[in-house]
């Protein structure tokens, strides 16, 4: 589902930093892979490049067999909307929309028949059925993250990219989010998680350590 081949990404400024220094990684359908390492080692850059949000300086990135950076920006955006779901530490919910509206925001630019019915089903499965009309400021942190997860899943992506999704959650809420990521992988999806959380690492099927833009 995801393949990175010798990917390099350089941040240029007063001092050049190789955020990704020739990394290669494959995440297959049904896999839950966690990347860990110290802050600043390139984990978030890895996810942005993998998700089509940040072009590498060199190397190849494939999602579902398609080279993300060999296609037009418009086609890449459509592919990302259809095949990739993102979950971040900061929930990135729109404060003026309720829970259902935030999940439905995933269909902007990617209209899907039956999306609202699927959104309601997902939210029910994630324990948010009674909260559809609540705004983000009326939710707990765990409820906000589950709303973000429902949004990521709405378009039936094959790949979930998760950046410290438990970082702002208490232990119980974190375990619930991790359980849903596991379920997604067991159903045939691919998960790439970056985290500092030992509990999250323990739930992954495979872990990879990263330092100075490289996998060890």
| 95, two tokens | 């404060």
Which among 175, 155, 153, 154 is positioned nearest to 165, based on CA atoms? 175
pTM flag (> 0.85): yes
- All residue ranges of the chain with pLDDT < 70 are 109-111
Question: What sections of the chain are H helices per DSSP?
Answer: 43-50, 73-83, 99-104, 115-125, 141-153, 171-186, 198-203
Residue 167, domain CATH: 3.40.50.300
If one counts the domains in the chain, the total is 1
Residues 18-29: tens digit of each pLDDT: 999 999 999 999
Structure tokens at 55: 């072009």
Domain residue limits at 49: 2-215
Structure tokens at 46: 């890895």
Write down how long the chain is: 216
The pLDDT, as a whole number, for residue 111 is 67
pLDDT score of 81: 86
What is the residue-wise DSSP string for 136-191?
A: GGGS-HHHHHHHHHHHHHTT--SEEEEESTTTTS-HHHHHHHHHHHHHHHHTT-EE
pLDDT value for 161: 96
Which H or E run contains 33?
strand 32-36
SS3 7: strand
| Among 206, 196, 214, 189, residue whose Cα is nearest residue 24 | 214
pLDDT at 209 (0 to 100): 96
């Amino acid at each position: 589902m995801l393949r990175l081949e010798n990917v390099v990404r350089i941040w240029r400024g007063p001092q050049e930093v190789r955020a990704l220094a020739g990394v290669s990684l494959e995440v297959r359908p049904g896999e839950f892979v966690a990347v860990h390492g110290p802050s600043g080692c390139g984990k978030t850059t890895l996810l942005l490049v993998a998700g089509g949000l940040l072009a590498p300086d060199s190397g190849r990135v494939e999602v579902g067999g398609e080279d993300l950076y060999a296609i037009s920006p418009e086609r890449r955006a459509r592919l990302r909307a259809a095949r990739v779901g993102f979950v971040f530490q900061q929930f990135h919910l729109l404060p003026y929309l309720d829970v259902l509206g935030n999940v439905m925001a995933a269909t902007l630019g990617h209209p899907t028949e039956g999306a609202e019915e699927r959104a309601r089903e997902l939210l029910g499965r994630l324990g948010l059925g009674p909260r559809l009309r609540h705004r983000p400021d009326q939710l707990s942190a765990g409820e906000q993250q589950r709303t973000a997860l429902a949004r990521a899943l709405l378009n039936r992506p094959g790949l979930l990219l998760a950046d410290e999704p438990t970082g702002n959650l208490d232990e119980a809420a974190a375990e619930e989010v991790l359980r849903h990521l596991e379920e997604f992988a067991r159903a045939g999806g691919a998960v790439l998680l970056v985290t500092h959380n030992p509990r999250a690492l323990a739930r992954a099927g495979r872990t990879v350590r990263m330092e100075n833009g490289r996998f060890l």
